[in-house]
Amino acid sequence: MSSNQTIATTAADPTVAAGASQFLSPVVLGLQALTVNGKQAHWHVRGANFIGVHEFLDTLVEHAGGWADDAAERIVALGLPVDARIQTVAQKGADTAVSAGFSQSTDTIRAVVADIDKILVDLQAAIEGLDEIDLTSQDIAISIKQGLEKDRWFLVAHIAE
């Protein structure tokens, strides 16, 4: 290749990129919102199981941020931007169940699990929608769902009877 030739920024088909963005963008936004709201819950949890819930919420926040990065980087690798600015994330996470103040651990867990469940709906839609569009993007959604369901289980185990 001569120095005058340019290399395309992506080898992706524009239809594939658009489909991946359509299905992964809500996941990115949901996970970014979970990162912020999970930290809010971490700071304000009280009561039974405090230390276990408090510490695990930090783990969840770390995981959610990493998964958001994985999904966002897939979209960008396909050549499209991701709008995860604070106002966009705030719109996605506006109906969070996480309290603005102190909350008993059982209530905190229920709130965070409710937020996780919303993301799991987006992930399932991504898995189903990406099946015919882009299997690599689908694999990312499947991997995120697997991890998020595990973290959900760890939280629910604190209040399960």
Give pLDDT, residue 107.
Answer: 97
For the chain of 161 residues, list the mean pLDDT of each consecutive stretch of 10.
55 87 98 97 94 97 98 96 96 91 97 98 98 97 98 96 86
Q: What is the pLDDT of residue 46?
A: 97
User: Do residues 20 and 74 touch, judged by C-beta distance below 8 A?
Assistant: yes
Token pair 């009561």: residue: 47
Encoded tokens for 20: 């991946």
Q: Evaluate the CA torsion angle 24, 71, 123, 102 in order and state its sign.
A: negative
H or E element at residue 66 = helix 50-77
Residues 6+ apart with CB under 8 A from 23: 125, 126, 129, 130, 133, 137, 141
Q: What is the CA radius of gyration of the chain?
A: 18
Contacts of 104 (CB under 8 A, 6+ apart): 45, 46, 47, 48
How high is the pLDDT of residue 12? 74
Domains in the chain: ranges and CATH:
14-91+98-156 (1.20.1260.10)
Q: What is the pLDDT of residue 2?
A: 52
Tally of CB atoms within 10 A around 74: 23
Q: Give Cα separations from 113 to 37, 53, 143 (angstroms).
A: 11, 12, 18
pLDDT at 13: 86
